[in-house]
Structure 1
Amino acid sequence: MPKLLTVIFLLFISVKVSGQTWEVGAALGGFGYMGDLNTNNPVKINQPAASVFGKYNFNGYIAAKLSFTLGNIRGADSTSNDEQVRNRNLSFYTPLRELALLAEFNFMKYIPEAGKNKYTPYVFLGAGITSYAPRTRANGNVISLRHLRTEGQENEYSTRTAVIPFGAGFKYNFTGKCTIAAELGYRYTFTDYLDDVSGVYAERSRLPLPLSVAMADRSGERLGYNIGTPGSQRGDFRPRDMYLFAGFTISYTFVTSKCYFDN
């Protein structure tokens, strides 16, 4: 992660700067999730999310963006079309709090109000950190899952993960120095426990609490008997979870150098 941040920083300082602008904005949209409880739908949005950001435009093509995004993700086997997955009967939700630094590249030279192009597609890539805390509901109660170590982990998994955000969007200068944009971005994470599910069912003797046993295998709540044989598959065996943010942004650009318009 430090290496990626260094690459982004070097990219910024390598740009010949003949003028600069600052830009501030906000976004509204939704979070989606891809992991052990959603293996097939990479564009499923199921929870609202919001973001605020500040951006430093080096020229009409390249910008550095610092963003803070918050919302929730969730998943439930009960919504699956696969009966075997429904029988597993796991579910989770977790709040996400993401801080990210992004490099943004416009395909067309874009300067709100002053440039000749009123719109441009763009792409972005960056690095960030996200906090997460998976929970579930059982018998009307909210249950925090990390400390239960439901797969027999020796230690609790982390409260945070590094993320690599990447994606694309389309922006439009609809009036003055104001810009609206539509954006879709994915976050590659460095954890497989956004959903508290990863590998195989553990031996009950390895689980630290009676509640750990109950939350590790919830098939009995649906079937009347448990199917989680120790050593059998619990997760999808993919090494990382991902999530996405899709939404609309609105921003305002402050021009700090007149020569910026002459680029």
Structure 2
Amino acid sequence: MKKILVLFICLIFQNIMNAQINELGVFLGGSNFIGDVGKTNYISPNEVALGIIYKWNKSPRHSYRFSYTQSTISGNDLDSDEPARNIRGYEFKNNIKELSAGLEFNFFDFNLHEILQRKITPYVFSGISYFAYDELYVINGETKKDYTSSTLAIPMIVGVKSNIFEHFILGFEVGARYTFTDNLDGSNPKNEDLQALKFGNINSNDWYVFTGFTLTYTFTEKPCYCAD
């Protein structure tokens, strides 16, 4: 994971050296989990999430976006509205370290040439995420770590953003990640020696959600949105 993060940072600075408009900033918000333990709410942040974001704006309507986000995700059956989960009483915590890359699309024209005009637009983002997490298992009602693993996820983000100052863009977004694992909560361990400990719906993969604000700074040459 560390090697991939270094490569991610190198790619950012390689693009910064090109004469394109760049955005670099931070994400600050919260995370929540959707799976077999805890609440079943789709958006209910209960842990802090932090990240860095880089965007390479190719036109007023689309940008290539790269990000690194990390958070703890957690769930507690006692917080659920489902009586069966309340009685079971399982809980867990997991550590997520995510790299994402993909395309951000603006619904309205977001031309950064027009710096004296207030711009606002909804946007969507999708692509691919690669993240590290802890493989967990539950024994005698206690959740334990087996080993650290990694897998892919598909991010689906919706948000709205506006240029609040000449070089600053503020956004708010909600981003769900459909993961390629069903064991962020310890319900479906991969370890063959722990197969008897499975519980919940083993035919449905886990999700996690990041909700929060982005603040980016634009720099280098303003873009010429025209054909090369």
TM-score for the superposition, normalised by structure 2: 0.79
Aligned to 1:174: 164
1:176 aligned partner, one-letter code: E
Q: Distance in 1 between matches of 2:39 and 2:217?
A: 38
- How has the CA–CA distance of structure 1 residues 257 and 23 changed in structure 2, closer, same or farther, with 3 Å as cutoff? same
* Equivalent pair of 2:92/2:143 in contact (CA under 8 Å): no
**1:39 Cα deviation after fit:** 6.2
**1:136 Cα deviation after fit:** 8.6
**1:137 Cα deviation after fit:** 10
Q: Are 1:239 and 2:187 matched, yes or no?
A: no
Aligned to 1:252: 217
- How has the CA–CA distance of structure 1 residues 117 and 107 changed in structure 2, closer, same or farther, with 3 Å as cutoff? farther
Question: How do 1:99-110 and structure 2 match up within 5 A?
Answer: 99-110=99-110
| Bigger radius of gyration among the two | 1
Query: How many residues align structurally?
Result: 204
* Equivalent pair of 2:39/2:79 in contact (CA under 8 Å): no
1:127 aligned partner, one-letter code: I
Deviations 1:210-252 (A, max 9, x none): xx99xx5xxxxxxxxxxxxxxxx82123420000100001111
Unpaired segments ≥5 residues, structure 2: 1-18
**1:54 Cα deviation after fit:** 1.0
Question: How do 1:23-38 and structure 2 match up within 5 A?
Answer: 23-38=23-38
Aligned to 2:97: 97
Q: Distance in 2 between matches of 1:55 and 1:81?
A: 39
Question: How do 1:69-218 and structure 2 match up within 5 A?
Answer: 69-112=69-112, 114=114, 116=117, 118-133=119-134, 144-146=144-146, 159-198=149-188, 216=197
Q: Distance in 2 between matches of 1:239 and 1:260?
A: 43
Deviations 1:59-82 (A, max 9, x none): 111100110000110011122233
**1:146 Cα deviation after fit:** 2.4
Q: Distance in 2 between matches of 1:135 and 1:48?
A: 21
SS in 2 for 1:145: strand
- How has the CA–CA distance of structure 1 residues 251 and 112 changed in structure 2, closer, same or farther, with 3 Å as cutoff? same
* Equivalent pair of 1:189/1:242 in contact (CA under 8 Å): yes
Unpaired segments ≥5 residues, structure 1: 1-18, 148-157, 200-205, 217-232
SS in 2 for 1:159: strand
* Equivalent pair of 2:60/2:112 in contact (CA under 8 Å): no
Deviations 1:54-103 (A, max 9, x none): 11000111100110000110011122233321222221100100001021
Deviations 1:22-63 (A, max 9, x none): 110101000111001146311121100011011100011110
TM-score for the superposition, normalised by structure 1: 0.69
1:173 aligned partner, one-letter code: N
SS in 2 for 1:240: coil
Deviations 1:167-191 (A, max 9, x none): 1110011110210000111101000
**1:258 Cα deviation after fit:** 5.6
**1:260 Cα deviation after fit:** 4.4
SS in 1 for 2:84: helix
Aligned to 1:226: none
* Equivalent pair of 1:112/1:178 in contact (CA under 8 Å): no
Percent identity (aligned):
31
Q: Distance in 1 between matches of 2:144 and 2:38?
A: 20
